[in-house]
A and B are shown apart, each in its own frame.
Chain A
């Protein structure tokens, strides 16, 4: 416990003041009535006390501290000198402009540090401001330091002999002329419903010392830079909020506790800001944390003992898991160093983790996106122009400055001090140029020219009624431009991959189509016009005869039949293996068949249903067999047909068949326009022909399955699979990437230059007016406040729109066991952002943090083709309240979070909505909260949440999440 004084802790002084007042009263009472009274003194009554009980949801009074002036300078030039006693004249105002009573503050601390070019402590912090500050007639206060400015610098916090002058520590050295800073902190303690909180005001005031002539305030990082993620910084019991104040204690040579009883005394752990902040934000990627050090010859040592990055304060703080959430570095690595290929797998893992560390220096030291509103800190360029062993070694902590350091075929000799840094690292545009070396290749326009899709028109096509909206049965025609970041047309050949999702309605997005588009679809000159594609799986257009030259015509035309979308033809040559009947009816869009006996069926087997039954025959390919259930797919895994397209009753036959692939040109020819497949080599009399082909997408009459549909969800949470398409605003979201290869230091690095997804809204059915996506404001700008950009799925998806296209759809699930056999069940896990994004960002604050696991992509082979992600180390950095600070993501102007919207299908709803459970239960995951949800839900599933939590109700969501802080 600290020895700081609480507001009520100063009652002793208050009592003395009362006694003095009493004596004054007594003497006044003895005064002679006959003497004329003196003129009334000027009003010097301090403001009244402020009640410390604050109603939940009420606005705080606010604390605005402003230093008006310093007095006590003895220098002829007006600057302070050694031996001067500083008096600080300051105001403390509330937000409404009225003054605070200084004794309201339980904590009132002041210190002097400088110079700004290399902060040292001069007068260490004292804590007597509330008791020593004198109230002035002009409604200000004056605090006078008890000690004069000393001749030499004080020791840094928790000083030991570990750091010295070469580390920038000037303890005991004479004060240098320069800009020095007074740091003043006032903390007001209050309660809300019995819980204690603290509001605070900070002020840092710079002044000239020792004949210096120009104020040079420290601003290598700006407050806005920190607050873009942290909202309002709050440290040390919420008392410290300004980054400029942090610098006054976190000076050169400052250390953590150095307590021999804790962490071995934590020798060499500095809290120097330029070291500590780099390390904290790069914790997960620090070489030392990963067990990487330097051998005596300067080469990497990968088997060093890992050193978790721990700072000992009142307790041990381990920052080894902290990752900086800024893309592209967050999951797309910097280029490999020379020799990477020759490393062992474990060493590569270490290197890969290091290479995804922080290099986005501009996020803190500049204007993050170069476009405002955050301004680059005035001294932000120092991050590159003033390299030091401390600053650079904070992240590159595998370097031992007493040894040489070899990297990328260059050897840096041992460095006894910082004097030689710029000789190599200051050479602009060299490989060792500080700024260039930290530039991620994807942000380097000389390497990544950029890729952009701009949909300029979306219209109904094919057979249509020309009413300006897309109706079931109509095609979707898209006109688009493809450009680089300079706006120049990009060649289709530059595009390696493209995908699109059609989803809607915007008030309850369901996926309608999820498709890959081959680059060959971009034909002719810009702008390109094409129809959205669709794959037709395993259609059987007929049975071969004994006569050569059979012609089979598919149901849909045309066939795209281009690279990436070729038509495949098989001939059924045998019935083999599994043979059973349905144990349960199967109706579209079901993606599984329950059979009486799954013996003989296996992954990748082809099956035929109701063989020989006119109008009922259909072919499918099994993706996985789990128990007696044959699983197929969903729109998300396009290698397999999603599921049945016809209804099949209990008892219908299910037989495994052998399909033999035929070769185009050798076995058959195609007329793409007419959909005719002509037999060139005999297919075999009586053999059924089966065709998979890509054709133009046609708006369906009903919704398909959700992405990765595993039946964990249904219309209770808005999943409308199999239900009629609802009129409204829909969107096509389109993304793609180019492949980029960087050869550097003898290593080859592959990147994807991914376009931010383009979205085009359109109307379906009788809808008349486009409706904006209502759940997040400002198109994801709130995401970029911390992330700057978004790259997921191997870097192949970029930007908020790409995320929403899939993760904004109801009922979407994580990778199911029918796709990845060894994956966990993850029952009830949705990748719908309503659940997933809440949970991910609540991360370590979830009651069951480690138990929330989401199965995602993997490049491994079946059944291990999944990656299980958990988020128990995710920290939401906004203060106060973390994820309770809803507007940090939803946006200040957005009200969608006030209550989950109703997502009932207008004509085919079956179950009562359970959107409160789905959304609120994502964060409120504890047993008590879940029990509460259960208790407040009927057996039918109906929720009563709105009775208490709807807007305007006593426990409305807005009120309950409001920060009285």
Chain B
């Protein structure tokens, strides 16, 4: 196939010299362009594809920020990910709807970052305690950090939970409930299946040797949540705690919760040990309320 330059149209023979000059100029530019392109790796020339964000300052210095669910995950694996290189087609992360997803100050994003850090360096995560718990740290970040510790199985999680519950004021804000209240809710929602959660609830409700007391309302709620979910063995320990308890509302609320515990015989034993008549609260479907 033969190509003709439009500059060599028979209708414009007087433009031949101009065309030759233009070709030389074009050739020089093209050569320079080629040299530049062939010497520089592709990656340096391209803008970061969506989702391949640069590492940011903490919490985003955790470079393996880790999308977990659809709707959030950038495509590519992060810098410093522990995942081995695989063929490109297999290397994509499955996250959906992600082009513009940037890490933000949400609890979730921080939680994922902390969790990733926990996987790689749990000690470093635990070492952030002073910064997180004692500094002027937003609640979302505190909660994210505590959740990550708990979910990562940190043996120091109970210590940090207790510290947060005791030292951070039990005051809600426009952004939500107080941190102690949220933590007790967090533990309560896991209590039926997680002995660690029940142990922490027990400590929150009844351990009074710490430097600062647990707020009364938080203690009451922790005691009730424990009583509802306690195993027979744990129920057997309740009378010991309740007999020494000076907060009558806590005792009443706790016994009321014991009445809802599905381990019926063990629950009855709590009342007997307390010198009371066993009460059983049958869960009933809600009707109109």
Q: Which residues of A contact B (CB under 8 A)?
A: 1-9, 11-12, 14-16, 18-19, 21-22, 24-26, 28-29, 31, 33, 37-38, 41, 106, 109, 111, 124-125, 127, 157-158, 189, 191-192, 195-198, 230, 233-239, 249, 257, 259, 261-262, 280, 290-291, 311-319, 322, 344-346, 348-350, 496-497, 499, 516, 636-638, 750, 752, 793-796, 821-822, 824-828, 844-853, 857, 859-864, 868, 870, 872, 875-877, 879-882, 921, 925-928, 930, 965
Contacts and interface: CB of A to CB of B under 8 A. Distances in A.
Give chain B's interface secondary structure class: loop
B139 A851 contact: yes
B99 to A, nearest CB: 4
A315 B107 contact: no
27 contacts: A1-B76, A15-B37, A31-B8, A38-B2, A41-B3, A106-B46, A111-B89, A124-B87, A157-B89, A236-B94, A238-B75, A257-B90, A259-B82, A280-B70, A638-B289, A822-B221, A822-B224, A847-B175, A850-B143, A850-B182, A851-B179, A852-B176, A864-B253, A864-B256, A876-B71, A879-B71, A925-B175
B74 A825 contact: no
A677 to B, nearest CB: 27
A19 B99 contact: no
Residue from the set A311, A314, A752 with the largest chain B CB neighbour count within 10 Å: A314
Contacts of A316: 66, 68
Interface in B1-23: 1-5, 8, 10, 13, 16, 19-20, 23
A124 B86 CA distance: 14
Contact of A237 (B79, B98, B193): B98
Contacts of B220: 821-822, 863
Nearest to A157: B90
Contacts of A41: 1, 3
Contact of A1 (B52, B102, B147): B52
Given A345-B263, A859-B284, 6 more contacts: A8-B42, A12-B42, A196-B49, A234-B98, A344-B262, A349-B193
Nearest to B260: A860
Nearest to B185: A868
B23 A752 contact: no
A435 B93 CA distance: 34
Contacts, number: 375
Sorted nearest first, the 6 A-B pairs with minimum C-beta distance are A237-B75, A314-B77, A851-B176, A879-B97, A345-B262, A6-B46
Contacts of A881: 97
A925 B288 CA distance: 33
A235 B94 contact: yes
Residue from the set A191, A197, A861, A926 with the largest chain B CB neighbour count within 10 Å: A861
A824 B49 CA distance: 45
A156 to B, nearest CB: 10
Give chain A's interface secondary structure class: loop
B186 interface: yes
Given A25-B26, A822-B224, A859 B37 contact: no
B68 A12 contact: no
Interface in B248-285: 249, 252-253, 256-257, 259-263, 281, 283-285
Contacts of A828: 172, 174
B287 interface: yes
Contacts of B244: none
Contacts of B20: 29
Interface magnitude class on chain B: 35 or more
Residue from the set B83, B176, B189 with the largest chain A CB neighbour count within 10 Å: B176
Contacts of A230: 96
Given A22-B27, A861-B259, A794 B286 contact: yes
A318 B68 contact: yes
A857 B289 contact: yes
Contact of A927 (B49, B70, B138, B252): B138
Contacts of A198: 49-50, 99
A8 B286 contact: no
A848 B139 contact: yes
B285 A794 contact: yes
Nearest to A316: B66
Contacts of B259: 861
A851 B288 contact: no
B186 A850 contact: yes
